[in-house]
Amino acid sequence: MSDREPVAHFIRSIIENDLAAGKHSSIVTRFPPEPNGYLHVGHAKSICLNFGLAEDFNGACNLRFDDTNPEKESEEYAQSIQDDVRWLGFHWNGEVRWASDYFETLYQCGETLIKLGKAYVDDLTQEQMREYRGTLTEPGKNSPFRDRSIEENLDLFRRMRAGEFADGARVLRARIDMQSPNINMRDPVIYRIRRAHHIRTGDQWCIYPMYDYTHCISDALEGITHSLCTLEFEDHRPLYDWVLDQLEPEKMVPCHPRQYEFSRLELHYTITSKRKLNQLVTQQFVSGWDDPRMPTIAGMRRRGYTPSGIREFARVIGISKSLNVVDMSVLEGCIRDDLEASAPRVMAVINPLKVTLTNYEAGVTGTRTGEFHPKRPELGSREVPIASTLWIEADDFLENPPEDWHRFKPGGEVRLRYSYVIRCDEVVKDAAGKVVELKCSIDHETLGKNPVGRKVKGVIHWVSAEHALPIEVRLYDRLFTEARPDADKERDFTEFLNSESLRLVQGWAEPCIRQAAPETHYQFERLGYFVTDRKDHDANGKHVFNRVVSLKDSWAKPA
């Protein structure tokens, strides 16, 4: 997928050593998202790690949905996740897997733990359970229901499944150690009663397993060799191992996978909390999960970020256990480098100023062709039409410019990109004194060659008003003004939304892009990289272009 060398990191070293020692003949990883929202840039890092390692070592990577929380899950989210993985360029092993595929096995494992004296049904309320649990500095205390007999626990657990009890009335807990310094090991809940319609099993179940319990068993059932997760699950690893240690001797699971943790991605100028991303959507701060300002994979795709650019970003930031704080400019730089190498160049004007060529002669004033990319001849070229009226970028003209100004000024000359040298002979203003038109003359001896006896340094982009394609341009910028918008616990993160994160303008572009399909990239020369919007762009109607990134990082670096 990439000709770049993989970056060495501790997980890669573990896998290399395991294979060399014969611990595994091949590796199996997995990507296990919960279908309760759209994936974001942090998930992209995990996708690239899990699927990338499987590719590098000729192994396999499963896509498994953790669908144990039915109230928050939907088919829309599940489908979007599959679309995202495919778009990033990866393929999962076999069919999509679901935790719900294993609901019956998970239930039987629960009964096995009860029979081993390792699980019990508890009647404590949630509030009482918190009280009994203790704190980080104080041990917990045993529930009064902890010493129920195996027979009573089996009976109650089966009646929980049969729907005899109200939601929340009882739970099944692992029987481990209420004195453990690790709170996750203080008799964690592994099943709860919850009457909720499930996207796959409907109303078949009224009890659902907890994530920590489900995840390790699912990994074992799938023969996962290396279970990779972010560092917040490090304290959960003893529970992962405990569950499998009880079940493996009973032959309830075929193997004991190993969990390894790496640091999660913290990307400046954005957020990756699903709850907060959902808040942005539901409160209509953005247009949806795929709003091009969102850090979701769907949003990045619509913005015009490329799969190869995102994969390169994941490669560059690396994998470690240390804090992974990355500035947005690193991601934008990877996208920019990818588009620099691949995107065709065309001219467009987004802040138009009218230019009238007073000595234009139809049939005499000629045209030239321009290459779409200076280093990609296979992309071809196009004719750049000219007419008596042009649009240029208003920013390329100053009435009273500084001495080092090399663009247009009264009485000055510039070269039109791929065309003639022209001279500004007259400046036309409106009643308010605003410049609305430049009247210029062409040096007809300068098509494809330099003027005689003088040097013209400035080159500006332009389009022919007669031929230009009208376009809607969406100038996207970073969604937040603060590098860490959710770091201030005294202020709501929405207070730091960037009011300039989207600006709509009407512009003009070369006619050669008229039939561009959605998700087609271009460099608009001297303006930035743009993409045809995947939803609103119509090659036969509305032409909508999103700014992907500027030509260079224009954000000021912190002092």
**Could you give the CA distance from residue 46 to residue 314 in angstroms, rounded to a whole number?**
9
One-character DSSP codes across 303-321: HT--HHHHHHHHHHH---S
Q: How far apart are CA 195 and CA 203, in angstroms?
A: 8
Element of type H or E holding 414: strand 413-416
What pLDDT is recorded for position 559?
35
Nearest to 192 by CA among 176, 177, 178, 211: 211
pLDDT at 381: 97
Give the per-residue pLDDT at 558: 42
* Residues with catalytic roles: 34, 264, 274
The residues spanned by each domain of the chain are 351-468
Render each residue's pLDDT in the chain as its tens digit; 559 residues.
555 778 899 999 999 999 999 999 999 999 999 999 999 999 999 999 999 999 999 999 999 999 999 999 999 999 999 999 999 999 999 999 999 999 999 999 999 999 999 999 999 999 999 999 999 999 999 999 999 999 999 999 999 999 999 999 999 999 999 999 999 999 999 999 999 999 999 999 999 999 999 999 999 999 999 999 999 999 999 999 999 999 999 999 999 999 999 999 999 999 999 999 999 999 999 999 999 999 999 999 999 999 999 999 999 999 999 989 999 999 999 999 999 999 999 999 999 999 999 999 999 999 999 999 999 999 999 999 999 999 999 999 999 999 999 999 999 999 999 999 999 999 999 999 999 999 999 999 999 999 999 999 999 999 999 999 999 999 999 999 999 999 998 999 999 999 999 999 999 999 999 999 999 999 999 999 999 999 999 977 899 999 999 998 765 444 3
Q: Which CATH architecture has domain 351-468?
A: Beta Barrel (2.40)
Q: Which residue has the tokens 């304290």?
A: 235
Q: What are phi and psi of 244, to 5 degrees?
A: -70, -35
Where is 64: in which H helix or E strand?
strand 60-65
pLDDT at 300: 98
Pairing of strands 171-174, 189-193: antiparallel
Report which of 501, 528, 181, 502 is spatially closest to residue 350, judged by C-alpha positions.
528
Reported as half-sphere exposure (CB side, CA atoms, 13 A), residue 17 has a value of 7
Q: First vs last Cα of the chain: how many Å apart?
A: 38
